[in-house]
Amino acid sequence: MKYFTLIILSSILFLGGCKNKEQRVVLIKTDYGNIKIKLYDETPRHRDNFIKLTEEGFYNGVLFHRVINEFMIQGGDPDSKNAKPGDRLGNGGPGYKIPAEIHFPELFHKKGVIAAAREGDRVNPEKMSSGSQFYIVQGKKFTDEELDKVEMRVNDMRKQQISYKLMSQYKDSLILLQQQQKFDELMALQNRIQKQAETELSKNRFSFPENVREVYKTIGGTPHLDSNYTVFGEVIEGLDVVDSIAAVKTDRYDRPVKDIRMTVEVVK
């Protein structure tokens, strides 16, 4: 009985220690000012990887190579360190990817969050993150009507993805009916697939909770990225610096005409 009590006490002390663990913070220094970012404990793989790369000096000298006003500023491509003017950037990395840690709606794309860039769904259906590239959301404010449209587009895309998956399962039957010119049966099967897709979508329909809507209406962000990219931290100082960088002149590939380099250090 005494042994059991000691185990419980040890567990309580351990959990208490975890709760009091100091949150990791990094500082991005630029010619436009400094951006201080806290990294979320809810995304430990991304947090630890960012700390690791920072301590190795990986980010020192890389550019914010993609900047879109009212959207985001992106950096972390090691190929940008020695890039010449006009070079296309955005394909570099440390040679590995990070499994997605998407926690929508708890973590969402409000203004000031840092999130991991990644390849598109066609080549990356698991939504795995780039090993080093990240973006900081600037975004803009949205109305309820605009957020409704975002929900509609996301759900249309989800239904399309489900339909493609189902059609691949019925591929042989669809081809056979087409070859046999049994068009009524073909249409019936296609309708059945669409109904099945709608049923599956209804189980996982995308929507913004009211608290998330309120943030997008008052603070802003990039809501169309939610549930698709890993958000792993947020700016706690230097949002004005993000705004300044987002406003710079860029070329047709969204690369700043004048290079914006960064150095990154761990604050705590």
For residue 32, what is the domain's CATH number? 2.40.100.10
Residue 137 placed within a domain: yes
Among 112, 97, 96, 120, smallest CA distance to 36 is for 112
pLDDT tens for 108-130 read 999 999 999 999 988 999 999 99
Whether residues 95 and 151 fall in one domain: no
Q: Mean pLDDT check: name the lowest of 8-17, 88-97, 188-197.
A: 8-17
Q: Does residue 43 form part of some domain?
A: yes
State whether 163 and 131 are in the same domain. Answer: no
HSE, CB side, 13 Å, CA atoms: give it for residue 179: 6
**Residue after which a domain boundary falls, among 203, 237, 252:** 203
Q: 215-267: per-residue pLDDT in tens?
A: 999 999 999 999 999 999 999 999 999 999 999 999 999 999 999 999 999 99
User: Residue type for 67, please?
Assistant: V
Dist CA 138 CA 211 (whole Å): 19
Amino acid occupying residue 171: K
Residues 124, 161 within the same domain: no
| Residue 169 within a domain | yes
The last residue of a domain, from among 179, 203, 227: 203
Would 30 be classed as within a structural domain? yes
Question: Domain check: are 120 and 234 in the same one?
Answer: yes
Residues 126 and 236 in one domain: yes
Other CB atoms closer than 10 Å to residue 78's CB: what's the count? 19
Chain-centre distance for alpha carbon 21: 25
> How would you class 128 by CB atoms within 10 Å of its CB: exposed for 0-12, middle for 13-18, buried for 19 or more?
middle
> Are 135 and 150 found together in one domain?
no
**Do 70 and 150 have their domain in common?**
no
Q: What is the pTM of this model?
A: 0.86
Range of the domain at 136: 24-141+219-266
Does 118 lie in the same domain as 81?
Answer: yes
Residues 85 and 125 placed together within one structural domain of the fold: yes
**Residue 43 and residue 135 share a domain:** yes
Q: Is residue 253 part of a domain?
A: yes
Considering the domain architecture, whether residues 104 and 56 belong to the same structural domain is answered as yes
> How many other CB atoms sit within 10 Å of the CB of residue 199?
10
Report the alpha-carbon distance of residue 185 to residue 168 in Å, rounded: 17
Query: Are 73 and 65 contacting, i.e. CB atoms less than 8 angstroms apart?
Result: no
Residue 92, SS3? Answer: coil
Number of domains the chain is built from: 2
Q: In this structure, is residue 18 part of a structural domain?
A: no
Contacts of 51 (CB under 8 A, 6+ apart): 24, 26, 39, 266
Query: Closest Cα to residue 8, out of 16, 202, 35?
Result: 16
Q: What tokens does 31 get?
A: 């010619």
pLDDT tens figures, 165-200: 899 999 999 999 899 999 999 999 999 999 999 999
Based on the domain organization, do 188 and 236 belong to the same domain?
no
